[in-house]
Structure 1
Amino acid sequence: MPPKCAHPSNEFLVMEMEKLLEQEGAKSHRRVAPGQVNHTVSSYQRALHSIRTHPASIETGEQAKALRGVGNFIAQKINAILIRLEAAATYGEEMARHLPPEEDAARTQKAAAASKKRKATPSNGLVEHPSSGDVSKVYKPAKGKLPWYVIMALWDVGATSEARAVDLSELVTEMKALGFVGTTSQLSTRMSSLINAHHVVAKAVDGGLLYLSLAGIQSATLCRQEAQPANGSGPTRQPSAATPPFDWSTTNLSKLIPTVPQVRPNDDEAWDIVLLLDHREMISRTNRSVFERKLLEANVTCEVRALNIGDMIWIARAPTRMHQGQPQEFVLDVVVERKNISDLASSIVDKRYTEQKARLKESGLRYVIYLVEGSLASQSTCIRGGGLQTALTRTQVQHNFLVYHGASHDETVGFLAAVHRHIVHHFHPHLVCTNPPVPAATLPLASPPPPPLRDFTQVVPVTWQLHSEFQTASRKKAALTVGEIHQMMLMQVPKLGRATVSHAAATFPTMASLWTHVQGGHPLALGSTTRRAAEPRHTFLVDLISRPTYTTTAPTTKY
């Protein structure tokens, strides 16, 4: 059992630091080779020893920095923990619920004393930043708006640190309990601004889980203070209500009307795990069924269907559940987008690459696998191998996709078979599965999964969705709006990215408005909220609109 602290009020700080140490130790198993030393883990251990033996109460990061073995990095972590404790204590949250009863009173007194040391909130709405002392505005969303639901839901579930981060499905469940009636696609659209523009929500390094940043904790406490009714209780949960009509013309998805109530799997029901292949996926043009045959030979239960999104997707079929004369099929949280090198390069050039990734990210599925087939060096494509590798790295880091690169068709089949075995292996302990259990001889292929899927563990869905309804929701609209066509045209302009095009389309909603602006001799300023577009892009677009004639030339250089 770990030794107790010399001062009881430091117990909560030690417990939070131990969580960070455990999290860093888990990362060390994946990133540090056997025999090597993880210096971050060693720093946490030295800091924990200094905190336990410190005879006085630690109330600020500067005090912690004076301890032996505590540098700037550890001091920032300690300061963040102390700020969360102070915010929770100030507004009555039970953040110190893990403390022993005899030490809880001492911790509350310490937090109250620390609160008095900080400056009171001025009447102009400005608050003092707790770590730097600079005065800055606290982001305060309007009550009942989507950002308000996000911040309050993260606060209610206790997601105030990376160690307590939650996934998107848990966040949506808590938001609906507070009265949120929007859609997941709306949440995905606004989440980017909450993370990058307002900095109130942060994303965990591993897994993409969400939690409140320091600015988010300040925003939550301010919203909670204003939302408290006269009796002093927190925000009340609203009863479930019918969802108001939604304007589906503003999205790229078809309207989804659930046809059956929410499913609750029974323990005695038998389920079939099936891999669905898009009918356009093939290995040989002369024999379109060779892909399916190779997977069947690898003991993968698969069928060929027409898929509206992705190239492969797994479903759970319940033969005992019938709907309109057919067994019900439910989508599992795994979708695969398969591309060969030449198709990847061409999709980047014609901007299908960006559109497909956006649709995959908005699908609501937990695990999106981006499967690339072929050699980056040997293929003759319009984009060099280094550019393709950069695109794949951004897909993995920025979009949190699981990227797998296979050299041949056989490697692709082997990878899909390993993923299928892994899904079946994790499905068996929870529900009855008719697929044969993974043999002991092949168990290492199923647990742990292939290297890109180390965190591929929650394959049983939290919210069961019919595959037919998922198909309807992910179907593209038959007709595009004028604004969508305008953005597609701007995306074809070289070196104009998605963020720049979105900002330009908001300023000039139609091509006619952009044309009139340029023809009138007015200056053209493109860019987004986070970056400015380079001057050559302005010049190129102005020249493109102003030029009286055009000529077609063949491309001579690679990107």
Structure 2
Amino acid sequence: MTLLSTNSSSKENSIDMPWEYLDKSCPVSKSGSAGVEASSKALSMPPLSFGERFEDAYEVVFVLDVREQLATQILRSRSIIESVISEYQIKVEVRRLPVGDGVWIARHKHLAGEYVLDFIVERKNVDDLCCSIRDNRYRDYKLRLLEWKFYLKGSVLSLSVSEVCCFTTEILEGFDVHRTGNLTKTLRNYGYLTVAIFKYYKLPEEQHKHAGVCPTFDEFNKWCQDLDEMTVSDIFAIQLMQVPQVTEEVAIAVLDLYPTLYSLAREYSLLEGDVSTREEMLRTQRDNVVNAAASKNIFHFVCG
């Protein structure tokens, strides 16, 4: 689930802030005095009995990965997290997560059940972001987390590389980049989001457009473990990303048609025409999602 942030400077101390985070991405939106209305997007829901309300059955808990640097800082600065917990009346836990730095779960109040909601966060400080740009780890993050909330902690003044990365990640690829200045502000944003998520799930059922049932925490862990198993398509994706002019979007577009290197090479061999026809093949097949330069470079990468 992608969370779209808005300018929060004028409402930093307001508990009404959560709707600013969710109104562009959840299946509800503000419409002045008329309240909320349905939109085209939908979230998975934890199971509810007939007539049962979410707020009666579940509590929302924010879970931080135990390996995340922020979790270590929290354990050392209990007063900060306790202040945020008290201010927003939320629950925060630290445990090992298979992917991301934080997730939100719905925990049943009466039964033994935890369900992972459609929200995930990956947090980066500026130094780590710049390192991940240089060694291409940030591309792997974006391919694994199709939709996420991406926090950038630390000053970004005069850091042109990280600024360009943030711009392309947010504007061109649909992720949300939200900058925070320190530990306290980051935790306050987590507090805003936790309250916002709970408010959304409290909406009357007729205002929800469901996209299925949320996975249990165990199912979520298994699903992520399955993702870690390298497939032939995964290897092909990594190879494509080394080709000049090939972005994440281009690689995914190619994989949609040709999931393996062999399948693409075979298509080139069956195509009638000269070299220029083969160089243009991917561009014409994907309606210019694959630009001419990328299409040409991929052909020469595959066929030499």
Shift of 1:313: 1.4
What residue is the counterpart of 2:151 in the other structure?
371
Shift of 1:276: 0.3
The one of 160, 166, 179 aligned to 2:40: 166
Contact 2:244 2:294 in 1 (8 A): no
Asked if 1:509 is matched to 2:295, the reply is no
Give the whole-Å Cα distance in 2 for the aligned partners of 1:500 and 1:294: 43
Q: 1:165 to 1:269 in 2, by over 3 A?
A: closer
Shift of 1:277: 0.3
Give the whole-Å Cα distance in 1 for the aligned partners of 2:163 and 2:113: 45
Shift of 1:165: 4.7
Q: Which has the higher contact order (CA 8 A, sep 6+)?
A: 2
What residue is the counterpart of 1:530 in the other structure?
287
Identity %: 22
What residue is the counterpart of 1:340 in the other structure?
125
Contact 1:282 1:290 in 2 (8 A): no
Contact 1:309 1:474 in 2 (8 A): yes
Q: What one-letter code is carried by the residue in structure 1 that aligns with 2:234?
A: E
Asked if 1:387 is matched to 2:144, the reply is no
Shift of 1:302: 1.1
Give the whole-Å Cα distance in 2 for the aligned partners of 1:463 and 1:544: 41
Q: 1:498 to 1:315 in 2, by over 3 A?
A: closer
1:469 is paired with a residue of what secondary structure?
helix
Residue-by-residue CA offset, 1:99-137 (whole Å, 9 max, x unaligned): xxxxxxxxxxxxxxxxxxxxxxxxxxxxxxxxxxxxxxx
Shift of 1:479: 3.1
What residue is the counterpart of 1:314 in the other structure?
104
Q: What one-letter code is carried by the residue in structure 2 that aligns with 1:341?
A: V
Q: 1:426 to 1:418 in 2, by over 3 A?
A: same
Give the whole-Å Cα distance in 1 for the aligned partners of 2:127 and 2:57: 42
Residue-by-residue CA offset, 1:486-539 (whole Å, 9 max, x unaligned): 221121233212343345554693279759x89xx9565164413253448846
Give the whole-Å Cα distance in 2 for the aligned partners of 1:297 and 1:320: 27
Q: 1:513 to 1:312 in 2, by over 3 A?
A: closer
Structure 1 regions of 5+ residues with no counterpart? 1-29, 31-162, 174-260, 322-326, 363-367, 431-456, 547-559
| Bigger-Rg structure (1/2) | 1
Structure 2 regions of 5+ residues with no counterpart? 1-6, 8-36
Q: What one-letter code is carried by the residue in structure 2 that aligns with 1:264?
A: S
Give the whole-Å Cα distance in 1 for the aligned partners of 2:231 and 2:179: 36
CA RMSD of aligned residues (A): 4.6
Shift of 1:412: 0.8
Q: 1:414 to 1:356 in 2, by over 3 A?
A: same
Contact 1:336 1:370 in 2 (8 A): yes
Give the whole-Å Cα distance in 2 for the aligned partners of 1:284 and 1:328: 24
Shift of 1:403: 3.4
What residue is the counterpart of 1:495 in the other structure?
245
What residue is the counterpart of 2:65 in the other structure?
278
Give the whole-Å Cα distance in 2 for the aligned partners of 1:428 and 1:499: 35
User: Within 5 A, what are the aligned runs for 1:146-545?
Assistant: 165-168=39-42, 262-264=47-49, 266=52, 269=56, 271-283=58-70, 289-290=75-76, 294-299=80-85, 300-321=90-111, 327-361=112-146, 368-379=148-159, 384-394=161-171, 398-399=173-174, 401-424=175-198, 463-502=213-252, 506=257, 509-510=260-261, 525=279, 527-528=282-283, 529-531=286-288, 532-535=290-293, 538=296, 542=300
Give the whole-Å Cα distance in 2 for the aligned partners of 1:508 and 1:329: 35
What residue is the counterpart of 2:27 in the other structure?
none
Contact 2:244 2:297 in 1 (8 A): no
Contact 1:270 1:318 in 2 (8 A): yes
Q: 1:497 to 1:274 in 2, by over 3 A?
A: same
Residue-by-residue CA offset, 1:365-385 (whole Å, 9 max, x unaligned): xxx422222222245xxx625
Structure with more of its chain in strand, by fraction: 2
1:475 is paired with a residue of what secondary structure?
helix
- How many residues are treated as equivalent by the alignment? 250
Give the whole-Å Cα distance in 2 for the aligned partners of 1:167 and 1:512: 34
The two structures have a TM-score, normalised by structure 1, of 0.36
Give the whole-Å Cα distance in 1 for the aligned partners of 2:226 and 2:126: 25
Shift of 1:355: 4.3
Shift of 1:354: 4.3
Q: 1:542 to 1:277 in 2, by over 3 A?
A: same
Give the whole-Å Cα distance in 2 for the aligned partners of 1:477 and 1:333: 17
Residue-by-residue CA offset, 1:443-475 (whole Å, 9 max, x unaligned): xxxxxxxxxxxxxx97x9984542222332333
